[in-house]
């Protein structure tokens, strides 16, 4: 589920919190980092279950309509296209989703008002109306409407964002990352997918990725003073106090990664932190960070501090 960029971002957040705290220890900060990563998987499960719950709301509405004292023609002969959506039925019947959600204690049982609000919202969207009125009837169209409703409307809905913010302080910055993983999972389904179609795991390679998190987080802290001096000495015409903390942390992480992970090319590390800076720092930060790191990497290669293993990994 988590790729290296996601992991770097989670470490960046943890380092920022650590730097802002007056009484945090490295051990406590690392524990919170891993806890925040674990919580991401809970959010993933919540979002995977959300469309299933909205389908259930639609079923409830249909049953309530039939039980009216004076049901209308629409109540007696409802449009069943959404509740019979093939893709949503797949999700509802997926045993992996059911088992993992039950094990982690993740469910929408205590949020009926939120679910009704979200269902009312999607019913009013052009995507939903066009889908319900369309004569096209295929698995691809069923999945396509779910993807569109999820991506264009649900993720950006204020009530859903507020729910996650109140549910966990660790989820404030995770929604976009986790939503992208949910969409990736949805797209991995096909009409032939059975009830055991797997969800994404939290880690691609648990042993390797856990080591990457621990080393990058700890070494960025322990090498922090050394790297801060290097940044200060090479930030032309910039006093260190004027450099944003986020920029400093990104450069510290990049320097640590270049030194500690001998099989990651320098260019890969540099490009990753430049890209992250575009989202988490000031508009001009990427050029500034690029300039400082270019200079530092050249010096560290020259004096042998950066040593890479494997063909072409120095460049």
Question: Is the pLDDT assigned to residue 222 strictly greater than 80?
Answer: yes
pLDDT at 69 over 90: no
Q: What's this model's pTM, rounded to 2 decimal places?
A: 0.84
Inter-helix orientation angle 86-93/26-66, to 10°: 120
State residue 240's pLDDT score.
78
**pLDDT tens by residue, 235-265:** 887 777 888 999 999 999 999 999 999 999 9
Task: Please check whether residue 216 is in contact with residue 257, taking contact to mean a CB–CB distance below 8 angstroms.
Answer: yes
Q: Is the pLDDT of residue 309 over 80?
A: no
**Which of 114, 129, 37, 44 is closest to 81 using CA atoms?**
129
Tokens 């893709």 correspond to 87
pLDDT band at 185 (very low <50, low <70, confident <90, very high): very high
Task: Calculate the average pLDDT of the chain.
Answer: 92
C-beta of residue 132 within 8 angstroms of C-beta of residue 83: no
Query: Mean per-residue pLDDT for 177-196?
Result: 94
Q: Is the pLDDT of residue 311 over 60?
A: no
Structure confidence at residue 308 (pLDDT): 84
What's the rounded mean pLDDT across residues 132-149?
96
pLDDT beyond 70 at 313: no
**Cα distances (Å, whole numbers) of residue 310 to 33, 122, 185, 257, 313:** 31, 51, 33, 16, 6
**If DSSP codes are grouped into helix, strand and coil, which group holds residue 120?**
helix
User: How far is it, in rounded angstroms, from Cα 182 to Cα 167?
Assistant: 19
**Backbone phi, then psi, for 11, in 5-degree steps?**
-65, -40
Confidence band, pLDDT 50/70/90 cuts, at residue 227: very high
* Domain residue spans of the chain: 4-188, 223-302
Question: What pLDDT shows up at residue 310?
Answer: 65
pLDDT, position 73: 84
Question: What is the arithmetic mean of pLDDT over 124-135?
Answer: 96
Average pLDDT over residues 177-201: 93
Looking at residue 148, what is its pLDDT? 97
CATH class, 223-302 region:
mainly alpha
Instruction: Decide if pLDDT at 312 tops 90.
Output: no
């Amino acid at each position: 589920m988590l790729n290296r960029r996601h992991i770097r971002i989670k470490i960046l957040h943890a380092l920022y919190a650590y730097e802002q705290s007056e009484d945090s220890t490295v051990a406590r900060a690392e524990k919170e980092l891993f806890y925040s990563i674990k919580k991401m998987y809970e959010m993933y499960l919540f979002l995977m279950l959300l469309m299933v719950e909205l389908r259930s709301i639609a079923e409830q509405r249909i049953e309530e309509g039939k039980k009216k004292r004076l049901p209308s023609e629409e109540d007696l002969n409802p449009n069943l296209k959404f509740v019979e959506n093939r893709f949503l039925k797949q999700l509802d019947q997926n045993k992996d989703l059911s088992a993992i959600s039950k094990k982690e204690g993740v469910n929408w049982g205590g949020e009926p008002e939120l679910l009704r609000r979200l269902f009312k919202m999607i019913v009013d969207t052009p995507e939903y109306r066009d889908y319900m009125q369309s004569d096209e009837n295929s698995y691809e169209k069923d999945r396509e409407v779910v993807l569109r409703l999820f991506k264009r409307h649900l993720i950006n809905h204020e009530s859903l964002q507020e729910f996650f913010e109140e549910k966990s302080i660790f989820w404030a910055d995770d929604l976009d990352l986790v939503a992208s993983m949910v969409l990736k999972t949805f797209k991995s389904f096909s009409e032939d997918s059975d009830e055991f179609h797997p969800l994404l795991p939290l880690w691609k390679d648990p042993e390797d990725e856990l080591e990457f998190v621990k080393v990058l987080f700890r070494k960025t802290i322990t090498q922090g003073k050394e790297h801060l001096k290097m940044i200060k000495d090479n930030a032309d015409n910039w006093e260190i106090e004027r450099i944003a903390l986020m920029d400093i942390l990104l450069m510290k992480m990049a320097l640590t990664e270049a030194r500690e992970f001998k099989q990651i090319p320098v260019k890969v590390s540099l490009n990753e932190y430049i890209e992250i800076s575009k989202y988490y720092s000031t508009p001009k930060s990427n050029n500034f960070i690029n300039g400082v790191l270019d200079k530092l990497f050249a010096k560290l290669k020259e004096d042998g501090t950066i040593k890479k293993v494997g063909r072409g990994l120095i460049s």
